[in-house]
Structure 1
Amino acid sequence: MKSTPRRRSANGAQLRTARVEPRTASTRPSLFLALQTGAGVTELPASRAQCRRWILSALSQDADLTLRFVARNEARSLNAGYRSRDYAPDVLTFAYGSALNRSSGRLRADIVLCVPVLREQARVARIPFAWRLAHLVIHGVLHAQGHDHEHDDQARVMQSLETAALRRFNIPDPYIDS
């Protein structure tokens, strides 16, 4: 398979052009991934390579995704502004348009992860922070693809997909009390 040509924008950011080879059943989805940190988050909590692996374990279509790692203030502000809820959630997913960009056929979404909330959840659950982070990255990717957990049947499907993806990394089922 040919590698995707790389270009640079005017400000030096790396750009990728679309793949031209046909997709086959064995071809995994292509992923353009941007990583960002908000104010109060001084470093990425996981490597780009690890984030890509977690995302690809749950991704079923080509995608342009941004993972943004934020502090409580930004998460709370986004939650209040977009969901009218006044607290800092662990993860927020923003899918654009109908999520699937009709012109390119690619999923486009931002996934916002609140690092202090995830650290606290991991501490309370007595699990490694990386396990909690992997779970919520995968959870956000599934939301971006249209999965939800508002109703019991939806929750069962989403939890099943999450646990299958986590199993690939030898991370135990987060829905089973140990």
Structure 2
Amino acid sequence: MQLYIDLQIATMDEKALPSLALIETWIKEAIIKGSSITREEAELTVRIVDSVESQQLNGQYRHKDKPTNVLSFPFQAPMGIQLPLLGDLVICKQIVEQEALEQNKDLNAHWAHMLIHGSLHLLGFDHIIEQQALEMESLETKILVTLGFPPPYNETE
């Protein structure tokens, strides 16, 4: 599968960001394992932002006045139009770093988790209903373990 990522770095602090190659590896695995169809190609935007932009977007689109780790904006193609575009992911650098620290997780493992989580949302997965959440968490765990990371969830989460 050919993957095209438009990586937008919109944070003032570019230290400790994963490379485009790592981001591609993590997202590609999510798309391959999470798609119900075989894709020859996929395209998406990954925008890494600061807390201010995350909070603004979270307020505008989810009506929550706080920054969040990842926002997913799936692309809805017009009827009869076939495009490989999946949508956009917006990842808040400060929230990802804060969560990794608070949860005692390796930073790259948490970046991978957030990118995989967001990519699965672009593919139609959700976690509003408990059964859907369990399915999504199971798939996230399977993908992360395949990539050599520890399971992202524990019994207390």
TM-score by length of 2: 0.87
Is 1:52 matched with 2:31? no
Is 1:66 matched with 2:38? no
Greater relative contact order (CA < 8 Å, ≥ 6 in sequence): 2
* 1:101–1:108 contact (8 Å) kept in structure 2: no
2:29 partner letter: S
Counterpart of 1:35?
7
**Sequence identity (%):** 33
Please, which runs of 5 or more residues in structure 2 have no aligned partner?
none
Report the structure number with the largest CA radius of gyration: 1
Q: 1:101–1:43: structure 2 CA closer, same or farther, 3 Å change rule?
A: farther
Q: 1:101–1:40: structure 2 CA closer, same or farther, 3 Å change rule?
A: farther
CA RMSD of aligned residues (A): 2.0
* 2:100–2:106 contact (8 Å) kept in structure 1: yes
Aligned residues: 149
TM-score by length of 1: 0.77
1:68 partner letter: R
| Structure 1 consecutive aligned stretches of length 4 or more whose deviation exceeds 2 Å | 39-44, 100-105
Counterpart of 1:147?
125
Counterpart of 1:128?
106
Please, which runs of 5 or more residues in structure 1 have no aligned partner?
1-28
Alignment partners' CA distance in 2, 1:104 and 1:124: 42
More helix by share: 2
2:135 to 142, 148, 157: 157
* 1:37–1:43 contact (8 Å) kept in structure 2: no
* 1:93–1:111 contact (8 Å) kept in structure 2: yes
